[in-house]
Amino acid sequence: MRQIQSPNGFFGLDVALGKIPGYSPWTKFGYNSAVGTTRETIWALGSDYEWPAAAASMTVSSKSAADVASNSGASVISIMGLDNNWAIATEEITMDGVTGVWTENQYIRMLRATNESTGQDILDQISVGTGAITAGVPAKVYTAVFPDDGQTEQSITSIPAGHIGILLGYYYGAGKSANTAIVELFVRKFGKRFVNKEHLPVKEAAGYMQFPVPRIYPEKTDLECKGTATGGSLDIAMGLDMILCKV
């Protein structure tokens, strides 16, 4: 086993600073404002997330015609996902309002979108997805950014090719409600089915679950945080603290 030298003597800090070759932070977080009694993904669009079945070119579009370089809204959106080889791919998209702008890459996973405009806020939901675009929203949305957020809020992720994912822990929170939230973590190894790895009841509380022994996931593994309310609906947040390691 190779020896890891931590220049500052604090492994997490040195990973964040990029001082340990082959290791990088991989943190994902999400929020769902209205989780009901049917299990839902913890992401800003609510409902259950639909994973891409194959790599595809995607479009980036807004529900506002003013999210465009020549107007007052967001002009540049940075996206990050995994390409058809499951390698990390990023690009910047110059927005054209409700009209979809095609990505240069094909993506098998779409993991994040961020507003990179200079001094311009997002005016309405910006979506990255596939299929026909109606009022600025594609038929299938794989990530979305909303006004005031600045970046995607979705607690799903996938491990890139040539890496392992090291899960250090996760945070969770449930808003004030007479009902209890059930927070869960589902994991799917490549070619397999999702398996529930965490099941935790939470009532009007927030916390952090740290693993004394980190969990290791191979390349192309999907992780998805989900939630359920025992009655009515409530808001749930979850996030994953991970490190990627090249292998």
Domain of 237 in residue numbering reads as 11-49+155-246
The reply to whether 159 and 241 lie within a common domain is yes
Q: Is residue 25 part of a domain?
A: yes
In a domain, 231, yes or no: yes
Average pLDDT of the residues in 141-166: 96
Residues 44, 65, single domain; the answer is: no
pLDDT for 113 equals 97
What's residue 78's pLDDT? 97
pLDDT per residue over 99-115, tens digit each?
A: 999 999 999 999 999 99
Retrieve residue 54's tokens: 């194959």
Last residue of a domain, one of 97, 121, 145: 145
Domain count, the chain: 2
Q: Are residues 140 and 183 in the same domain?
A: no
* Cross-strand partners of 61: 127
Q: Is residue 5 part of a domain?
A: no
pLDDT tens, 34-48? Answer: 999 999 999 999 989
Instruction: Say whether pLDDT at 69 is over 90.
Output: no
Its pTM stands at 0.93
Please report which confidence band the pLDDT of residue 1 belongs to, taking 50, 70 and 90 as the band edges: very low
Q: Are residues 20 and 69 in the same domain?
A: no
